[in-house]
Amino acid sequence: MPVINGKKLPSFSGFSVKEYLSSQNFDERRIAVEYNGSIVQEKDYENCILHEDDQLEVVTFVGGG
C-alpha cells in the first residue's frame, strides 16, 4: 500500500497523484509533491500512479506574517 505523508493508505493504490490530490481537495497551486524521493511537476501529476510501497509527500504552502 502507498505511504502518503507518513501513513499507509491502501485505498489510494492505483490512483494517479492528480486523482489523490483532487480526492483530498488540495489546491494544486499551493502545494509541492514528492513522489518516491523526487519532486513532481504539476504537469506530471496525472502520469504518476500510486503503487505498493510508493512514498508520497504533499507539502502545503501557507502565507503569514
Band of the pLDDT at 1, cuts 50, 70, 90?
Answer: confident
Spatial separation of the C-alpha atoms in residues 23 and 2, rounded to whole Å: 15
pLDDT of 65 higher than 80: no
DSSP bridge pairs for 35? 38, 56
| Per-residue pLDDT tens digits for 11-61 | 899 999 999 999 999 999 999 999 999 999 999 999 999 999 999 999 998
In a 10 Å sphere around its CB, with 0-12 CB exposed, 13-18 middle and 19+ buried, how is residue 50 labelled? buried
What's the distance, Cα to Cα, between the start and end of the chain in Å? Answer: 39
pLDDT of residue 45: 97
- Going along the chain from its start, the domains and CATH numbers come out as 3-60 (3.10.20.30)
